[in-house]
């Protein structure tokens, strides 16, 4: 009853997504949690063995999933993103990859004890990192855009080339030993070129079809999904592993066509990619055997992993980036971060089988060797990337920041308060004049249209978890919030009502349109700016065990407006039309108070001071 294919599939999907949630909830590296979960349900407790469950479908499922993940990653490779880091990326994916191949192969031969043939094959494969491991780590660590771009481009571009390099080494060595003719080698080169051309044609063709409206809106994502699988399959049928090169070329071509509807589909692909990464990692680790796990503790394998971590990777990065504009901090982080993932695990199995058939008995060690490197790098880099990035000042601040859209008196005063509370804040507006108040207060500002496509290449959004759209155009506020739902999440997007006549109509909006409406029904754009431009002041009240939230509410001036609460954890909870957060001891309540009470308190303090002096 509970041993069917459907039940096992459901279990793997559930554990994969549950692992992602646990990682998010407890701020753990998602890749590590998924790997451990797979080991627990597979070799350790023996609940599920995906290879037995899916049988002949196991490898096609893995291959198709990797193709989709790689395509989704390459959709983010817009050349405009790397204007300032083009030289380092070019060096790392060429010269750096070559150095990593040579030194990795020599380490596999002299340390792990592999023959030169097997060593150079697996050395080529081990240059890969890939989107399945890099993208989750970047999402977790919140690196600055420049450093994140280097790691992301390296991971996605090198991913298919690692598999091809291993395949080339295999074919070339067979040619040198006389087992294959020169024709076979030429076929390999022709198949690789065919894959690039095929991916380019698929990308251009599909891109033009989308742009010219030849595909209806409801079919765009399904058509793209099928096109990726088709492109991958055709290339892979021509020669094994060239399909990865084809879908990478397809994704890069489409990313740089700047198709208007690509952003909507990219978010769909991101969701699919997260589901696939979660599922595939659990499947792969659950498919390992106890014998493979025990083999990992071989002294030669441990020594090889240590050498790859601390010698080969740092050496390849530092040597390949000589003469570039990368800082020492950037070189140090990039030289350390190189987790191996799904491609290394899946392709190593193919080469292990092929090499064993060719008579290389030492290839039997490739699976435990690969898993040892994958698991070690995933754990080491997953737990260290955030800490090291902070030490090197290459990550955004821990405190969640606020992006204020709209330059006016209210956003300036609110931004000044957040700045005083050490909360990262930025005021954005396309009008330099409207930013004048914020600029006079020395607040960070962004002069430009927040909805412009170029914004993501000129504005670092990583530090900002919250957005408040506070212009006098309610439709614009709603559009801004709706646009940034995928980046920030609907619960972190807020807007203000434009005017008193709109406060009631706001309730009629579809819940999927715009952000949460802030403050009470009288707190519309005109009222907020009238108060901010007047003598209203923003008060910060600390809550303690003695001075509770309930006491604060009873004491506060009834004319004051509750804005938000700064929790002990640093998170912000805003007061909205539909929700009023509850303060606790250790929190700080921020309100916009009328001047009368503030002046009275100042007079009381002056009187007390004079009394103390007398």
Determine which helix (DSSP H) or strand (DSSP E) holds 178, and give its type and residue range: none
Q: What is the pLDDT of residues 533-564, one digit of tens each?
A: 877 888 888 888 888 888 888 888 777 888 99
Pick the CATH number of 5-391 from 3.90.650.10, 3.20.20.70, 1.20.1530.20, 2.60.120.200: 1.20.1530.20
Lowest mean pLDDT: which of 49-53, 72-76, 209-213? 72-76
Q: Stretch 190-200: mean pLDDT, rounded?
A: 91
Residue 114 in 3-state DSSP?
coil
pLDDT band for position 604 (cuts 50, 70, 90): low
pLDDT score recorded for residue 82: 67
Band of the pLDDT at 140, cuts 50, 70, 90?
A: confident
Confirm if 186 and 238 have CB atoms less than 8 A apart: no
Contact (CB, 8 A) for 381 and 338: yes
CA separation for the pair 374, 341 (Å, rounded): 6
DSSP state of 219: G
Cβ-contact 167, 240 below 8 angstroms: yes
Q: Give the CATH H-level superfamily of domain 401-613.
A: NAD(P)-binding Rossmann-like Domain (3.40.50.720)
Quote the pLDDT of residue 599. Answer: 56
Q: What is the pLDDT of residue 267?
A: 63
Give the Å distances, CA to CA, from 23 to 27, 28, 350, 396.
Answer: 5, 4, 31, 20
Better-predicted residue by pLDDT, 187 or 266: 187
Distance CA 4, CA 368 (A): 29
Euclidean distance between CA atoms 386 and 406, whole angstroms: 32
Predicted confidence (pLDDT) per residue in 463-515, tens digit: 788 999 999 888 888 888 888 887 778 888 999 887 665 545 555 554 556 78
Q: Is 318 a residue whose pLDDT tops 90?
A: yes
Annotate 533-548 with DSSP letters as a single string. Answer: HTT-EEEEEE--SSS-
- 1 — pLDDT class (breaks 50, 70, 90): very low
- Which one is predicted more confidently, 578 or 418? 418
Of the candidates 196, 131, 126, the one whose C-alpha atom is nearest the C-alpha of residue 166 is: 126
Residue 204's pLDDT is 93
Percent of the chain having pLDDT more than 90? 20
**pLDDT value at residue 270:** 67
Between the alpha carbon of residue 477 and those of residues 410, 492, 514, the distances in Å are 15, 14, 7
**Which of 168-182, 353-367, 389-403, 495-509 shows the lowest per-residue confidence on average (mean pLDDT)?**
495-509
Reading the block at residue 373, the tokens are: 């490197």
Top-confidence residue, 614 or 43: 43
Cα distance between residue 567 and residue 423, in whole Å:
12
Confidence class of residue 401 from pLDDT cuts 50, 70 and 90?
confident
**Per-residue confidence (pLDDT) for residue 178, from 0 to 100:** 63
pLDDT of residue 263: 64
Supply the DSSP string of 7-41, one letter for each residue: HHHHHHHHHHHHHHHHHHHTT--HHHHHHHHHHII
Whole-angstrom distance, CA of residue 239 vs CA of residue 173: 17
CA-nearest of 495, 492, 502, 491 to 517 is 495
124-133, 248-257, 309-318 — most confident range: 309-318
| Residue 604 three-state SS | helix
Q: pLDDT, tens digit, for every residue of 62-90? A: 888 888 877 877 877 777 766 667 888 88
Alpha-carbon distance of 397 to 556, in angstroms, equals 33
CA dist 579 and 596 (Å) reads: 28
pTM of the predicted model, to two decimals? 0.71
Neighbours of 327 (CB within 10 A): 14
For residue 106, pLDDT beyond 80: yes
Closest among 48, 51, 46, 38 to 3, alpha carbons compared: 48
DSSP 493: E
Distances (CA, A) of 361 to 124, 167, 302, 353: 19, 18, 20, 10
Q: Which residues, 6 or more positions from 367, have their beta carbon under 8 angstroms from its beta carbon? A: 288, 292, 348, 349, 352
Percent residues over pLDDT 70 in the chain: 88
- CA-CA distance, 220 to 239, in Å (whole number)? 29
Evaluate if residue 242 carries a pLDDT over 90: no
pLDDT, position 311:
94
Beta-carbon contacts of 416 under 8 Å, excluding residues fewer than 6 positions away, are 441, 443, 538
Give the residue with greater pLDDT, 340 vs 601. Answer: 340
Q: How high is the pLDDT of residue 103?
A: 94
Q: What does the block give as tokens for 473?
A: 């155009």
Kindly report the average pLDDT of the chain as a whole number: 83
Domain residue extents for the chain: 5-391, 401-613
Q: Which of 216-230, 300-314, 459-473 has the highest mean pLDDT?
A: 300-314
């Amino acid at each position: 009853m509970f041993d069917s294919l459907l039940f096992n599939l459901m279990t793997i999907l559930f554990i994969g997504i549950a692992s992602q949630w646990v990682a998010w909830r407890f701020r753990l590296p998602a890749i590590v949690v998924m790997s451990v979960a797979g080991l627990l349900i597979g070799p350790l407790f023996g609940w599920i063995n995906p290879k037995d469950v899916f049988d002949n479908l196991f490898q096609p499922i893995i291959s198709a999933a990797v193709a989709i993940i790689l395509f989704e990653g390459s959709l983010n490779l817009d050349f405009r993103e790397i204007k300032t880091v083009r030289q380092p990326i070019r060096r790392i994916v060429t010269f750096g990859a070559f150095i990593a191949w040579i030194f990795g192969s020599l380490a596999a031969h002299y340390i792990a004890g592999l023959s030169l043939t097997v060593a150079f094959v697996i050395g080529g494969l081990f240059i890969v990192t890939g989107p399945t491991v890099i993208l989750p780590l970047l999402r977790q660590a919140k690196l600055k855009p420049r450093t994140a771009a280097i790691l992301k481009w390296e991971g996605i571009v090198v991913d298919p080339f690692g598999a091809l390099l291993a395949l080339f080494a295999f074919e070339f060595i067979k040619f040198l030993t006389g087992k294959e003719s020169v024709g076979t080698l030429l076929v390999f080169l022709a198949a690789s070129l065919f894959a690039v051309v095929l991916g380019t044609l698929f990308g251009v063709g599909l891109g033009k079809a989308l742009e010219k409206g030849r595909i209806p809106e409801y079919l765009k994502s399904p058509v793209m999904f099928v096109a990726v699988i088709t492109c991958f399959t055709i290339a892979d049928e021509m020669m094994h592993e060239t399909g990865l090169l084809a879908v990478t070329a397809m994704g890069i071509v489409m990313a740089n066509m700047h198709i208007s509807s690509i952003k909507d589909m990219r978010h769909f692909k991101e969701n699919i990619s997260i589901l696939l990464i979660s599922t595939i990692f659990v499947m792969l680790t659950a498919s390992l055997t106890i014998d493979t796990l025990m083999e990992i503790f071989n002294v030669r394998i441990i020594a090889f992993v240590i050498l790859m971590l601390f010698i080969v990777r740092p050496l390849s990065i530092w040597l390949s980036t000589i003469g570039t504009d990368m800082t020492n901090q950037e070189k140090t982080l990039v030289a350390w971060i190189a987790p191996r993932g799904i491609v290394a695990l899946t392709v190593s199995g193919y080469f292990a089988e092929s090499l064993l058939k060719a008579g290389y008995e030492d290839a039997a060690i490739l699976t435990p060797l690969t898993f040892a490197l994958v698991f070690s790098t995933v754990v080491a880099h997953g737990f260290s990337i955030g800490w090291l990035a902070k030490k090197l000042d290459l990550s955004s601040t821990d405190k969640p920041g606020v992006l204020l859209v709209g330059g006016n008196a209210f956003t300036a005063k609110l931004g000044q308060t957040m700045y005083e509370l050490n909360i990262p804040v930025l005021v954005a507006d396309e009008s330099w004049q409207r930013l004048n108040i914020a600029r006079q207060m020395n607040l960070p500002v962004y002069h430009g249209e927040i909805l412009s496509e170029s914004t993501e290449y000129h504005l670092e959004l990583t530090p900002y978890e919250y957005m408040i759209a506070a212009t006098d155009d309610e439709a614009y506020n709603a559009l801004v919030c709706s646009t940034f739902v995928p980046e920030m999440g609907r619960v972190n997007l807020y807007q203000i009502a434009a005017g008193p006549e709109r406060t009631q109509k706001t309730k009629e909006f579809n819940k999927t349109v715009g952000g949460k409406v802030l403050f009470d029904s009288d707190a519309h754009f005109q009222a907020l700016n009238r108060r901010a431009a007047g003598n209203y002041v923003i008060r910060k009240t600390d809550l303690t065990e003695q001075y509770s939230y309930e006491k604060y509410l009873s004491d506060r001036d009834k004319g004051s407006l509750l804005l938000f609460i700064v929790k002990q954890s640093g998170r912000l909870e805003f007061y909205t039309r539909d929700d009023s957060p509850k303060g606790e001891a250790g929190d700080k309540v921020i309100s916009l108070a009328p001047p009368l009470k503030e002046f009275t308190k100042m007079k009381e303090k002056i009187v007390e001071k004079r009394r103390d002096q007398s």
